[in-house]
Chain A
Amino acid sequence: MLLYILKRVLSAISVVIVTLVASFALFFFAPTDPAGVICGPRCTPERIADIEQSLGLNQPKAEQVLLYMKGIVAGREFSSGGVTQHCAAPCLGYSYTLGQPVTKLIGAALPVTISIVIGGAVVYLLVGILAGTIAAQVRGTSADRFVVGTTLVVQAIPYFVFALMIALYATFLPASGYTSFFENPFLWASGLLAAWLTIGVTNAAAYTRYSRASMIEALGQDFVRTATSKGISRRRVVYRHGLRAGLTPVVTIFGIDLAFQLTGAIFTESIFGLPGIGLLALRAFNQYDLPVLMGGVLIGSVVLVVMNLVVDIAYTALDPRVRLG
């Protein structure tokens, strides 16, 4: 077990390092002119030289990679127009268009994305598992066919179109916006409600299908028959005995899914105007803000890799049948 975890951790680290090098190569070896873009159209050569100096762009490319790596581990200094800014470790660079260290920007955006994703997950897990369990019990009836048909149609509607329709036409929902939970929990919830419902409804379709299939299998098992024959009420058999066995595969899918949702919240953020990681990356793309773009990609990769790792390890710990290798 320990060896397996060690192997998985090593492979996760290798993925992160390759991502780091690849994204760096992509952005810094490309024949771009970051200093010129940062400086804008009316720019003096001295100003460009100053920016290149502070970003380390005047040094050899290999040196720049090392500088960037060193920044992540130990932090580094940025100076612009005589003002020196310290960027504490882990430093992912400095955004000149926003005048802030990238880590600070991402730190501000991450809670927004996490709030969106977690809240949405609560909605779709509740709705999906409940609908799936009910559909599994009435399998083959017209009610079941209705549920399955609805999930098929809901899943087939393009997500961004659905979200846009909610944002434009569901005006009865409270206006979207982000307030910190610690500042005002009520405003936090009401500002995110529309986003949660959108994510909730669309993903509930998939989870209804997963849990329906999984519950059908679980309810066909011998232990369910045994429980029923002991005279336990149907409700208790389904929700205590069946659901417990039926939920394991759903939880696994959820773990992997959640990581993708974190990086995929970009449509939700953009349509509802919530300042999360996706919107940050989108703004960085439009202003050609490379350090922010790279930082976003890097943080996204780390989140994804760590989540996958946690799911894998949790799964092997929970289910002894999983073969280690």
Chain B
Amino acid sequence: MEPLIEEAELARQGAPTDAIAAPTGEIKKVDTRRKSPTQIALARLRKDKVAVICASIFVAFVLIAIFAPLLAKLEGQDPTTLHQDLTDRYGYPTITPNGEHWFGVEPRLGRDLFARWVYGARPSLIVAGSVTVITTIIGVVVGLVSGFMGGWIDRVLSWVIDFVLSLPYLLFAIAVPAALLAIFLGTTEGVAANEVATVRFYSLILVLSFFGWASLARLIRGEVLTLREREFIAAAKVLGVPTRKVLFKELLPNLVAPIVISVSLALPSYIVTEAGLTYLGVGLTEPTPSWGLTIAQAQNWYRADPLYLWIPVAGITILVLALSLLGDSIRDAFDPRTRR
């Protein structure tokens, strides 16, 4: 709020004194450049220590995901090679974390845990990232069109939004992959694990996107309904600006705050959903290295091999914690109603 007040103060007090002072030759240098609401919000965000720390953690995870092969090579391992010589006949690993296997090896199969951990950051971020992008685009477009057009288009789209929002989405998230697997592959028996994993990957993105866009669309529609009646939109219409341009050049810039807030809160929630569904066995499957999958397998070994469980748990918790707190900071920074 502070920058805004400063500007208002300047406009009220600074400007007239400037005008009076000018003829005498003493020009006071006042920075009167206007800041857009987004710039104000970003400035607030930069001052927020929690936000900066959380953003750095997020960037670190993104870098881990991007350079996963490099990190694994640095260690000298890869996520799929079996080291069954390092486990005893009951499946317990015989080694502890060492220079060769930084986080130790998996019980039973003996795959390297560090390599699986760095590769595990990938599906989380890719799935959550693409779902966030898809749902944001669909949500914004549907919300804009529905709110601006009104009439029967609005009625139909609103019904669809209500419909999607009133479905039990977790139950569908379990049920749909079963059907999609059959639709994509034609059969459900004797399919290679690789193919199943690929189909599951896309069907997860599909299902999460299908259920994710509606709440944003409803939000945007509400905002557009109030913006639509404002003078600048009426002026644009009178000037004969084409509808498409009104929507994306006049309305969209005014919706930056709700969109940014929604994106920042959606990303961590999709990471949790991906890991959660994978944990339940209805998300990603082997051989994809995924934290949710590792947690599901490691829970059976939690006494004998706590590290196996705690590494992916720490990964997902830290990432989601950082992103959620960042999201909260972003919301505070972009929402003009919150005061600091």
Contact of A281 with B175 at beta-carbon distance under 8 Å, contacts A161-B316, A305-B166, A308-B166 already known: yes
Interface SS of chain A: helix
The interface residues of chain B lying within 8 Å CB-to-CB of A156 are 268, 320-321, 323-325
Return the contact of A31 from the options B175, B183, B279, B313 (Cβ within 8 A).
B183
- Of B1-9, B184-192, B224-232, the one contacting chain A is B184-192
Which residues of chain B have C-beta atoms less than 8 A from A313's C-beta?
none
Q: Which residues of B contact A (CB under 8 A)?
A: 159, 162-163, 166-172, 174-179, 182-183, 186-189, 268, 271-272, 275-276, 279-282, 295, 299, 302, 309, 313, 316-317, 320-321, 323-325, 328
Chain B residues contacting A264 (CB-CB under 8 Å) are 170
In the complex, what residue of chain A is closest to B322 when comparing beta carbons?
A156
| Count of residues in A whose CB is under 8 Å from the partner chain | 49
CB-based contact A263/B276 at 8 Å: no
B187 and A33 contacting across the interface, CB-CB below 8 Å: yes
A304 touches B302 (CB 8 A): no
B-chain residues with CB within 8 Å of residue A277 when the two chains form the complex: 171
> Most chain-A CB neighbours within 10 Å: which of B171, B187, B282, B320?
B171
Q: Which of B280, B302, B317 contacts A282 (CB 8 A)?
A: B280
- How many angstroms from the CA of A293 to the CA of B309 in the assembled complex? 31
B210, chain A: closest CB distance, angstroms: 11
Bound form: Cα–Cα A301–B176 in Å = 14
Interface centre among A159, A160, A164, A278 (most CB of B within 10 A): A160
Chain B residue with the shortest CB-CB distance to A23:
B175
Q: Are B166 and A301 in contact (CB under 8 A)?
A: yes
* Minimal beta-carbon separation of B237 from chain A (angstroms): 25
A106 CB to closest chain B CB, in angstroms? 12
- A158, B320: Cβ atoms under 8 Å? yes
Interchain residue pairs with CB less than 8 A apart (11): A26-B179, A27-B179, A30-B179, A31-B183, A32-B182, A160-B272, A161-B275, A266-B170, A266-B280, A277-B171, A308-B166
B174 & A285 in contact (Cβ 8 Å cutoff): yes
Q: A157 interface residue, CB < 8 Å from B? A: yes
Report the bound CA distance from A263 to B178 in whole Å.
Answer: 18
Cβ of A253 < 8 Å from any Cβ of B? Answer: no
The stretch of A11-19, A60-68, A120-128 in contact with B is A11-19
Contact B166 A304 (CB under 8 A): yes
Q: Is the pair A158, B275 in contact by a Cβ cutoff of 8 Å?
A: yes
Inside 8 A of A134's CB, which chain B residues have their CB?
A: none
Which of B167, B168, B175, B316 sits near A285, CB closer than 8 Å?
A: B175
Closest A-B pairs by Cβ, 5 of them: A300-B168, A156-B324, A263-B168, A32-B182, A158-B272
Nearest chain B CB to A322 CB, angstrom units: 15
Would you give the shortest CB distance from B198 to chain A, in whole angstroms? 18
Which chain B residue shows the least CB distance to A270?
A: B280
CB distance from B200 to the nearest CB of A (A): 12
Residue of A nearest to B177 (CB): A285
Question: Is A288 interfacial (CB-CB < 8 Å)?
Answer: yes
Is A267 an interface residue, CB under 8 A from the partner?
yes
Asked if A3 is an interface residue, CB under 8 A from chain B, the answer is no
For the complex, give the distance between the alpha carbons of A161 and B275 in Å. Answer: 9
CB distance from A203 to the nearest CB of B (A): 15
A37 contacts partner chain B, Cβ-Cβ < 8 Å = yes
